Chain A
Amino acid sequence: MKNSKLSGMAAVASALTLTLTLGACGSSGPQDTTADAGSPTMWALTGANEAVTGASVESWNAAHNDAAIQLDYFANDAYKTKVRTAIGAGEGPTLIHGWGGGVLQSYVDEGHVMDLTSFLEENPEVKERYIPAVFDNGVIDGTSYALPYTGMQPVVMYYNKELFEQIGAEPPQTWDELMDLVPKFNEAGIAPFALGGQSKWPNLMWFSYLVDRVGGPEVFKAILDGEEEAWSDPAVIEALTMIQELVEADGFINGFSSVAADGGADAALLYTGKAAMLLQGAWVYQTLKNDAPDFVSSGNLGYLNFPAVEGGAGDPENIVGNPSNFWSVSASASDEQKDAALEYLKDGLYNEEYTQDLIESGAIPPTVGAEELLAQSEDKDFLTEVYTMATEAPSFQLSWDQALSPDQGSAMLANLDRIFLGEITPEEFAETMNGTLGE
């Protein structure tokens, strides 16, 4: 009896610690990179650009032994939560990977990232190498805080040509054509679209393209500006209705809400012939080159801009996606770290070797005059088409979850997920999201 009482107490105590340790988790990150205060640290993402960043840092380090960059990689979703906590605790890296938009704005508001104005004045060639529209995504209120370092990443509709030949159909140019294709593919036992629904952000690509095609870029601008009832815009409601119609018509692959995009499972559905089309970022071309080189080289991979919507106000040439990924320099880094980081941004990025590596990986550098290099590449068809698409688009809208503040962004992704699941109506979505405006 004494024993059981003791074990009872132990149970209560362990219960308490279980709950408490959970409450305390996430307050600190591993920070073993402070060994040398003078050498900058860098946090980058795994996936499409991993190899290019790795090679660039390696060759930089070989030439700069005194200020070698310590590079750590993180998975996309994990990085987004980790980096913010680390920066808030003053333990962030010297070079911070970002997307611009609302997240960058929140770092700027709290003075966590360095003002790059004087650096850019001293080194005008740095600014001049970028396509201005892409460079501007690192500018907040007229001041530059972030510099592009990857390729341009508009969202493209990929398709498997073989499957289209199999059912004797043409790739869709309009939304009606797209809806007509859905039953044809389903009859042939092929899913019309792959979708990484568990990751939630791939759902957003559908939503933002449809809102843009139906109502034009002004609709989201009103949301971004926090205008009252902006989510109730008819274009938003219509776009959400169209999504639910597509879901109901079995437009997306069976089980799409348990497919995770982080592991490239959605791209795998396309090249294994289980799904005919995939709406995803330009970085998926890099993933496909890595994971399925035969599929890419066989010429079975097709790509086009998102279809037009009949009677819609948006220009069908408009694109959404990520103009690029950006490096920001931490304001709390030591002077030596900052100097070395800026030196890297100046000389390490978009030198001949870097640009060549980017192009070989299947990315489109956001630099002026990249066309010539792209034309010589083995992937010139895809690269030049996307380069033209990105540079000539009347509007290149940043992914909404990055453009909005983090709390609005995460509420939007959660509720959009429920739209795809048919758990809420477009009107309920608008009502919930209107409540987050101005927060």
Chain B
Amino acid sequence: MALQTKTVPALPVRPAPGRRSGASLGWFAAPALVFFVIFAIIPLAGVIFLSFTSWNGLGDITLTGFDSWITALTSPVTANAIWVTVKIMFFSLIVQVPISLLLGVFTAGTQRYRALLAVIYFVPLLLSSAAVAIAYKALLDPNFGVGPGLNLPFLAQDWLGDPDLALFVVVFVIAWQFVPFHTLIYQGGVRQIPASFYEAAQIDGAGRMQQFFHITLPQLKYTMITSSTLMVVGSLAYFDLIFVLTAGGPGYATRLLPLHMYLTGFQANDMGAASALGVILVVVGLGLAVLVQSLGGRNRAASQLEGA
């Protein structure tokens, strides 16, 4: 931040080179743009097209207008899937934001034991979702898992088989895997807060709690927005973990939208309806991302260093 406030005013002084470098910068985006068009825009167009057709994955693709959309939108399973998605999104936010914020602040300290703990916290992120899911499935097994194995009755619940519990187990496992990532984001954010703020606050007689609520938290505003955007949009993409852990069950208890899309397309072989669901996912995902971003306030130009 401090660096930028120095370099930004330098630009208007020499407008010509600035413009030239702006033009050449555009080319840097070209490789990414090519990949984006090939792997994102073209498949997206294909999915939009498929959503107006009927296709079982084997035979001919026939245009059927809005039939697939009507099938997808009127199905009670879709309504339930949307509700499950909202619940997972909500609970994920509530669980992950405070934990990763506190862990981030904690690990931002320079003490050696904190650095060591930060490395340990990071481990779950290194594991693949499928491996995490298989491990939890084995641990939570009601007959051969940790609970019965160690004779701890309170752990011997039917964690993944009880429709009321399964959703929260899913939220927990998601948090276990992704809290380290968000901790890292917060850790970086906290480390960017100038130490002079805290020194000044100390001189003014602010305690630790006051420092946290009046300096750390406000300074982390944009970090929080970035992290929350990833969490919210991420819950529209949770698939592998839940597919392996519960396969959407028991019943429809953990069948969230992306999983519903997959099962509709590749198990019930209704590619048209699955594509319609895919389009809904893209639109909702983009909408939510924009919404969370705009929550950050209109006045983007306002400095985070306000009051410094």
Contacts and interface: CB of A to CB of B under 8 A. Distances in A.
A255 B158 contact: yes
A21 B269 contact: no
B172 to A, nearest CB: 15
A110 B57 CA distance: 10
Contacts of B226: 4, 7-8, 11
A198 to B, nearest CB: 6
B58 interface: yes
Nearest to A4: B222
Main secondary structure on A side of the interface with B: helix
B289 A11 contact: yes
Interface stretch (A127-135, A171-179, A317-325, A406-414): A406-414
Contacts of A259: 141-143, 161
Interface in A72-130: 80-81, 84-85, 87-88, 106-107, 109-110, 112
B266 A85 contact: yes
A85 B269 CA distance: 9
A11 B222 CA distance: 12
Contact of A19 (B237, B249, B251, B262): B237
B237 A8 contact: no
A81 B246 CA distance: 17
Contacts of B246: 198, 258
B303 interface: yes
B140 A418 contact: no
Contacts of A290: none
Which of B239, B247, B289, B293 has the largest count of A CB atoms less than 10 A from its CB? B289
Which of A87, A107, A410 has the largest count of B CB atoms less than 10 A from its CB? A410
A423 B230 CA distance: 34
B160 A258 contact: yes
B15 interface: no
A23 B229 contact: no
A22 interface: yes
Given A198-B246, A265-B144, A418-B251, A88 B161 contact: no
Contacts of A81: 266-267
Interface residues of B, number: 68
A84 B158 contact: no
A1 interface: yes
Nearest to B134: A263
A1 B233 contact: no
Contacts of A26: 262, 265-266
A255 B161 contact: yes
A259 B159 CA distance: 11
B281 interface: yes
B81 to A, nearest CB: 12
B44 interface: yes
Nearest to B255: A414
A8 B225 contact: yes
Given A1-B1, A88-B57, A259-B143, A23 B43 contact: yes
Interface string B133-167: 00001001111100000000000001111110000
Contact of A3 (B1, B77, B236, B296): B1
B239 A253 contact: no
Given A8-B229, A15-B285, A3 B4 contact: yes
B222 A7 contact: yes
A352 to B, nearest CB: 38
Contact of A18 (B59, B237, B296): B237
Interface of A: 1-5, 7-8, 11-12, 14-27, 80-81, 84-85, 87-88, 106-107, 109-110, 112, 197-198, 200, 253-260, 265, 268-269, 274, 406-407, 410-411, 414, 417-418, 421, 423
15 contacts: A1-B304, A8-B293, A11-B233, A12-B293, A19-B237, A19-B285, A20-B44, A25-B239, A26-B266, A110-B59, A255-B161, A257-B250, A258-B141, A269-B143, A417-B251
Given A3-B4, A4-B225, 13 more contacts: A4-B304, A8-B225, A15-B233, A22-B258, A106-B58, A197-B161, A253-B143, A254-B158, A256-B161, A258-B142, A258-B159, A265-B141, A406-B268
